[in-house]
Amino acid sequence: MLSILPSVNFKSLNQPLLRPKGLRRVNNKIMKHTKSVFLALALLTSLNSLIAQKEETIVGNRGLGFSGIWGGSKHQLTQFGNSGKTSYVAGGFFGFEFGKSLLVGWGHYNLMDEFKWDNIENQVFDMKWNPMVVAYGFKNYKAIHPQIGVDFGRGRVQLGDVKDRVFVVQPTAGLEINALRWFHIGLDGGYRFVNDSSIAELSDQELSGWFGQVSFKFGFSWGRYNKKKTNKPKQYED
């Protein structure tokens, strides 16, 4: 009967299931996931409170509720470094509209030209970044109206075989043309701020620069603008 029972190594029972290093790794993963969950909950809570607020403008009182979906492409002419060469940057975006005026979404940009940085041999330069997109239009119901925006997010630069991560911020200002209800054209200008470059040949100042931009925006916005009502004084007859 005793031979049928499996042999038990009692020494292994005294050993911990996870070594201290493995336990620390598990704890670190749990902490990272916990932080991500709390961050997502805080973001959703703040967004919910933002949507619930009312905005009073010269157009009228309206809530910042979900009012549309938009996406499209962006095309920039800009310069990098001191070469004086104009470069073409193409990108796209997708976002959600709130209160028929505020657009919040995501985008991406890619340098389409391939050129050598300051004529250094075998040092081809490339850059791309994926920002968060925030834009606000004033009196969007008009055919031509002003708009401002800012893109910010992480990116990557490459010089030859060396790659580095950077942070890009792009404030813009310009006009938007309502060509059709589902198609708008944007004409903007702005400045590209680049930070955190650690490649010796690529300084933050050389990566930053002015740009002109044309955007093609496709989508749909529902609801109507509630124009502010003026209370006219009552007229009494004598």
pLDDT at 65: 87
**What value does the mean pLDDT take over residues 136-140?**
94
pLDDT value at 37 more than 70: no
Instruction: Average the pLDDT over 50-61 and give the result.
Output: 45
Across residues 210-237, what is the average pLDDT? 74
pTM: 0.67
Give me the percent of the chain exceeding a pLDDT of 70. Answer: 65
Predicted confidence at residue 114, as pLDDT, reads 76
For residue 181, pLDDT beyond 50:
yes
Residue range 92-108: mean pLDDT, rounded: 96
What's the confidence (pLDDT) of residue 152? 97
114-121 LR contacts (CB < 8 Å, sep 24+): 115/83, 115/85, 115/87, 117/80, 117/81, 117/83, 117/159, 117/201, 117/202, 118/81, 118/82, 118/83, 118/201, 119/83, 120/201
DSSP codes joined into one string, 82-129: TS--EEEEEEEEEEEEETTTEEEEEEEEEE---EEGGG-TT-EEEEEE
Q: Which residues contact residue 154 at a Cβ distance below 8 angstroms, ignoring those fewer than 6 apart?
A: 129, 130, 165, 166, 167, 168
The answer to whether 125 and 115 have CB atoms below 8 angstroms apart is yes
The pLDDT, as a whole number, for residue 222 is: 86
